[in-house]
Amino acid sequence: MKYLPNILFFILLSAGIGFFTFQIKKIIRYVRMGRPTDRSDRPAERWKTMALVALGQGKMVRRPLAGIMHILIYAGFFIINLEILEIILDGLLGTHRLFAPLLGEVYDFLIGSFEFLALGVLVACGVFLVRRYGGRVPRLVRSGDLKGWPSLDATIILFTEIVLMTLFLTMNAADSLLQERGAEHYVRAGAFPVSSFLHSFLQGFGENTLIFLERFCWWAHIIGVLAFLNYLPYSKHFHIILAFPNTYFSNLEPKGKLRTDENVLKEVKLMLDPSAQPEPVESGSLPSFGAKDVTDLTWKQLLDAYSCTECGRCTSECPAHLTGKLLSPRKIIMSVRDRLEELGRLRDKHGPDYKDDKTLLGHYITPEELWACTTCNACVEACPVNIDPLSVIIDLRRSLVMESSAAPAALNMMFTNIENNGAPWQFSPADRALWTTES
Amino acid sequence: MTIKTVAELAAEGKSPEFLFWVGCAGSFDDKAKKVSRALARLLTEAGIEFAILGTEETCTGDPARRAGNEFLFQMMALQNIQVLNQYGIKKIVTACPHCFNTLRNEYPTLGGHYEVYHHSQLLNELLKQGRIRVKPDAFKGKKVTYHDPCYLGRANGEYEAPRSLIRQVFKEIEEMERHGRQALCCGAGGAQMFKESEKGRKEVNVERTEDVLRVAPDIVAVGCPFCKIMIGDGVKHFEKEDKIRVADLAEILQEALDSPSAV
Ligand code: SF4
Ligand code: SF4
């Protein structure tokens, strides 16, 4: 029975990590449903982008308050994870503060810093809750894009972080008090600059109660961490992992350059060069133009969808949204994720070629949203994890125009003008140089 | 003024150093035509050998592409590339950021490789080389702000050349709150110019003109024919056209020319 806690811990840990791996595999499978695109060039530039944007939070600090608070949580999250390593080893080996004798004073310094970071996380989460519930930050209000699950998700994340940090600090407080009282097993280790303020609340408790409290917090904390890990793939919080690959695979071309639709190019070349031979069409599948569903998007666009933090920075700078149009680039990205999850689950159940009667275009995103975009790139510029909502909008427009001939009448007129007069307006091409002789 | 076409030069066995790509707005829109003339004067003043395609120029295909008509875009692009390559064009200057973006970024994939300049970049270079000289007090006492075109700024990362050009004739630029990377669109891009906007609270150009009004400048400098039209309309919407002038960088520079030939 002596090893019961160790065994229990081992089972918990394996289940937590095992299920997480299972979920990651599922998401990789879904992302691979997208079309190919090559993002393997210029590795040095890619690492640099990742270092600046994801690791360095380069785009977050453009909004100073949110940026700095975010860095507090982010640093807390990452650095406190060093402590998780010790917790895991303690759990498996049945030791207590395994690293303390190995690291000596460094250990005190580390634990002390973790405590400050935990405090920082608590403060930042508090500020974020006020921002979310205060109704003063339009992009965070709990209506519109964030109605329902997305705003509940945001609340769950903040509360979980608050609970985890509180458990961590309470555990430390009970531990250090036990150390002071010279309880068995609780050797003096660590410095507790923050949690020692909690001592006054705990002084009245006896040794057994304190041990119970310390153990309870220890277990609750690590169980909470494992549960949170497995919550990530369902949540916008998944960005803490995907921000890294997503920025690595960023578009490195100028933002104004649109992707050439290769299927269209093949057709156009055939039209211009009658001697060219059409490629044999693959069994039963005619080439499609643009994107009608998530499977017509590239894997990078699908990865974008899973990386979205739902922060709304894109939408808050979108000229269409700012002037009351239906378009919200955040919602475009969220729709891609929702549809991908839906289709992915269906394909898991019915096989990889399964098609339902829904599509991204039409059932999730309407033409009215798409036609409001000015292709200004404000959303792309604003996104802290280098997501490209504009590329999705353009691909869907392509499908509307080239597959369904569903452009607004005025745009069809513009197309006709370009075809006939070489200009989007109805002017005679013969008058093109008149400007030189007018005054 | 007479400007040679590339075809005329070719007949003389010559080819220009620069092709001036005028663009559809620069060829047909009254406000933009003035910009084309101003730029042509400046290039002449600097002694640049340039020519236009004249009737051989057609739309780059930008509005078609942004509107989702990739077919039409590619057709236009391939035709234009054929003309450009046949004349052996190497360097292009244009006053339209949309043409600039398409020629510079999107034609290479289809076989058109050129050195492409937005006019603000070339003019800035010519100022630095002293090939264009301006009277620094031409706009004395006037307040100027600058509106970044999306296709020059965010799309191509060029924020500095236009500003450096403006600083040659104005002491300082009074920036709008949203400028540079965060500049608000004028509302014309993505083929919006050619259709009614979707329903909403207001027009994008009105929202942008409100930014302008907060600065209350005498002149709004623009670097794009579509921005010129959109913000011009916005200023008219607020009935401020006798207080605020919307002028392209080329027009500003031309008016400040320090040269006997400048009228
Ligand atoms: S590119 Fe389109 S979606 Fe993105 S900010 Fe501009 S108008 Fe909005
Ligand atoms: S796309 Fe980017 S900016 Fe927009 S909500 Fe998602 S993470 Fe935020």
> What are the pLDDT digits (tens) for A316-336?
999 999 999 999 999 999 999
> What are the angstrom distances between the C-alpha of B128 and each of B44, B121, B139, B253?
16, 11, 20, 13
A138-142, A262-266, B35-39, range with the lowest pLDDT: A138-142
Task: With cut-offs at 50, 70 and 90, classify the pLDDT of residue A281.
Answer: low
pLDDT at A282: 58
* ipTM of the prediction greater than 0.90, yes or no: yes
Place of tokens 């580390």: A110
Task: With cut-offs at 50, 70 and 90, classify the pLDDT of residue B262.
Answer: very low
| Helix, coil or strand: residue A304 | helix
DSSP string, B131-187: SS-B-TTTTTT--EEEPPPTTTTTTT---HHHHHHHTTTSS-B---SS-GGGPPP-S
Instruction: Find the helix packing angle between A4-31 and A329-350, rounded to 10°.
Output: 110
What's the rounded mean pLDDT across residues B18-46?
Answer: 95
pLDDT at A328: 96
Task: With cut-offs at 50, 70 and 90, classify the pLDDT of residue A183.
Answer: confident
Ligand nearest to the CA of A378: 1
Question: H or E element: which one contains A49?
Answer: helix A43-49
pLDDT at A438: 81
Could you read off the pLDDT of A264-275 as tens digits, one per residue? Answer: 998 888 887 777
Task: With cut-offs at 50, 70 and 90, classify the pLDDT of residue A4.
Answer: confident
Of residues A340 and A281, more confidence is placed in A340
Q: What average pLDDT does the structure give for chain A?
A: 90
Q: Decide if A269 contacts A276 (C-beta within 8 A).
A: yes
Residues lining ligand 1, CB < 6 A? A 318-320, 327, 329, 373-379, 389-390, 393
Cβ B55–A258 below 8 Å, yes or no? no
Check residue A32 and report its DSSP letter. T
Cα–chain center distance at A265: 33
The beta-strand segments (E) located in A259-399 are none
Cβ B54–A433 below 8 Å, yes or no? yes
Distance between CA atoms of A140 and A136, rounded to whole angstroms?
8
Q: Which two tokens stand for residue B55?
A: 């009737």
Does the pLDDT of residue B263 top 60, yes or no?
no
Could you read off the pLDDT of B49-69 as tens digits, one per residue? Answer: 999 999 999 999 999 999 999
Per-residue exposure over A194-215, b if at least 16 CB sit within 10 Å of its own CB, e if not: bbbebeeebeeeeeeebbebbe
| Any ligand 2 atom below 6 A from CB of A198 | no
Question: H or E element: which one contains B19?
Answer: strand B18-21
Query: What are the sequence ranges of the domains in chain A?
Result: 4-31+63-236, 262-269+290-421
| Helix, coil or strand: residue A365 | strand
Distance A400 CA to ligand 1 centre (A): 18
Distance B1 CA to ligand 1 centre (A): 40
Could you read off the pLDDT of B107-153 as tens digits, one per residue? Answer: 999 999 999 999 999 999 999 999 999 988 889 899 999 999 999 99
Could you read off the pLDDT of B158-216 as tens digits, one per residue? Answer: 999 999 999 999 989 999 999 999 999 999 999 999 999 999 999 999 999 999 999 99
Does the pLDDT of residue A40 top 80, yes or no?
yes
Q: Which two tokens stand for residue A249?
A: 């695979």
Place of tokens 């090939």: B131
> What is the CATH number assigned to the segment(s) A262-269+290-421?
1.10.1060
Does the pLDDT of residue A1 top 70, yes or no?
no
Does the pLDDT of residue A226 top 80, yes or no?
yes
Residues of A in contact with B105 (CB under 8 A): 253-254, 256-257
Could you read off the pLDDT of A66-118 as tens digits, one per residue? Answer: 898 899 888 887 787 778 888 888 888 888 888 888 888 888 888 888 999 99
Sheet holding B245-248, edge to edge: B144-146, B219-222, B245-248
Residues of B in contact with A272 (CB under 8 A): 75, 78
Domains, chain B: 6-125 (3.40.50), 135-255 (3.40.50)
| Any ligand 2 atom below 6 A from CB of A309 | yes
Which residue among A396, A397, A432 places its CB closest to the CB of B55?
A432
Distance B127 CA to ligand 1 centre (A): 35
Atom of ligand 1 nearest to the CA of A378: 5
Cβ B198–A254 below 8 Å, yes or no? no
| Any ligand 2 atom below 6 A from CB of A154 | no
Q: Decide if A192 contacts A113 (C-beta within 8 A).
A: no
Could you read off the pLDDT of A24-38 as tens digits, one per residue? Answer: 999 999 999 999 999
Per-residue exposure over A83-113, b if at least 16 CB sit within 10 Å of its own CB, e if not: beebbbebbeeeeebbbbeebeeebbebbeb
Could you read off the pLDDT of B206-253 as tens digits, one per residue? Answer: 999 999 999 999 999 999 999 999 999 999 999 999 999 999 999 999
What's the rounded mean pLDDT across residues A18-24?
Answer: 95
